[in-house]
Amino acid sequence: MIEEHIAYKAMTSRDPRFDGVFYVGVTSTGIYCRPVCTVKTPKPENCRFFESAEAAEKAAFRPCLRCRPELAPGNAPMDNAHRIAHLMVQRIHEGLADEGAGLEEIASEFGISSRQLRRIVQQELGVSPIELLQTRRLLLAKQLLTETKLPVIDVAFASGFSSLRRFNDAFSSRYRMPPTRLRKEAAATVATIDAEDTSILQLGYRPPYDWEGTLAFLRGRCIRDVEFVTEDSYARTVRIGKHTGWVRVKHAPQKHALLVEFTHSLTPVLPALLGRLRNLFDLAARPDLIAAHLGKDDLLSKSVEAHPGLRVPGAFDGFEMAIRAILGQQITVKAATTIACRFAEAFGEEIHTPISGLSKLSPLASKVAAASIDDVAKLGIVSARSASIIALAKAYHSGSLILEAGSNPEAAIAKLVELPGIGQWTAHYIAMRALRWPDAFPKEDIAVRNKLGGVSAKQAEAMSQPWRPWRSYAVLHIWRSL
């Protein structure tokens, strides 16, 4: 039961932490909104509060066209500024943005100017893109100085500075000490600076977490030599920009965290690496809200109770996942995995690791885009599907198709279905995992339709409406229940 005076205070605060927790209907307009909507704040006597969008619609309120309450938080048009700022941070973390060209590229993706981009980042994050970039470089430099024995000049270049002089000036200005002093102080407080080839970090999550279910999902789709899944861990090779290495992830339930072991070769792109792992393991999910919502449905309630903390596994590499989705069209998961392994063997590059099950890097879009249909078809992939894979690789390599968390899902789905051989099922499955869209719904999925009573795709779409905005999780519950 929502206490209206508390909900009204939460609404007037515009605190994003309340987004998706409740909805407000305005009696004077007949419209319901999210608590973060930027419209003029209504009077208390004109407000009615609901726990779900469905309850508001049942009370005859219409959805606001600005904040789009029927969509999952983060995916409405009003969220574009937040999405742009998030993408800017992600690009900086991956080392793909610089003072000039990177800003122009990101701005063009959203159809805005670089000046508008700078203003959005300033408004959303409180700093300019250049200040954001500088902070990221300095934080990485501090980590390298305290956790490794790299020479200071190597630390400077690995952090993204173009010269040792610029690095020393920026470091001294920010931290009021030269880099060498920080290293000496770190060495004095810690017995030895880690000289091993790997380090371990923790990534927290909101409990509960269905670790066994997540591992089972990834194990069934594991690409041999690129990924290696055991009974208690997930490992894979990594390429981010020019940096390669490997990671291994284990569960620490007593800490409500995942333990990430990573090679020091990936330290320069550590923020991007951790971001990808958060997406892959769906660590930002709110299992309490999702379970409370889906548990009301008779079809899903048993699965929700049986699998607390179920997650929607994301994608470590959007292109890799999209290829896997195309290969999985109209065949079993096992058959698709077999073909995906052949594909990685043919197009992936060799990498040496101490883990016997890891020896290949995931194929690059540029290499696949340059292949012929015959090059792909000889792996046992039909010609039409081979052409689809090459078309996807070309679109991704050219930058016209963005497949990463934070991208606009509706725009990405529209671009995906324009490619040959990609329909709504494939596009929504990619949106569910690579784009991290919690409301994606592959209504053509035969397992989902059978679970709903052998209905048509159109009927499945209509029957899924009460599950919004968490339909991706509903689909995973259905698949898990099978």
Catalogue the active-site residues.
33, 445
Query: Strand runs (DSSP E) across 171-328, as ranges?
Result: 198-204, 227-229, 233-240, 243-252, 257-263
> Beta-strand (E) ranges in 91-220?
198-204
Task: For residue 81, give both structure tokens.
Answer: 């500024």
Show the beta-strand stretches assigned E in 256-395. 257-263
Burial 176-212 (b: 16+ CB within 10 A, else e): eeebeebbeeeeeeeeeeeeeebbeeeeebeeebbbe
Q: Which residues pair with 237 in a beta bridge?
A: 246
Rounded to whole angstroms, how far apart are CA atoms 396 and 83?
20
Torsion over CA: 191, 192, 194, 196 (sign): negative
In the chain, % helix, strand, coil (3-state, to 5) comes to: 50, 10, 35
Give the residue carrying structure tokens 């792992």: 277
Q: What strands, in cross-sheet order, belong to the sheet with 243-252?
A: 198-204, 257-263, 243-252, 233-240, 227-229
Query: The tokens of 126 are what?
Result: 């409180």
No. of helices (H) and no. of strands (E), the chain: 23, 9
**Which DSSP string do the residues of 8-53 spell out, in sequence order?**
HHHHHHT-GGGBTTBEEEETTTTEEE-TT--SPPPPGGGEEEESSH
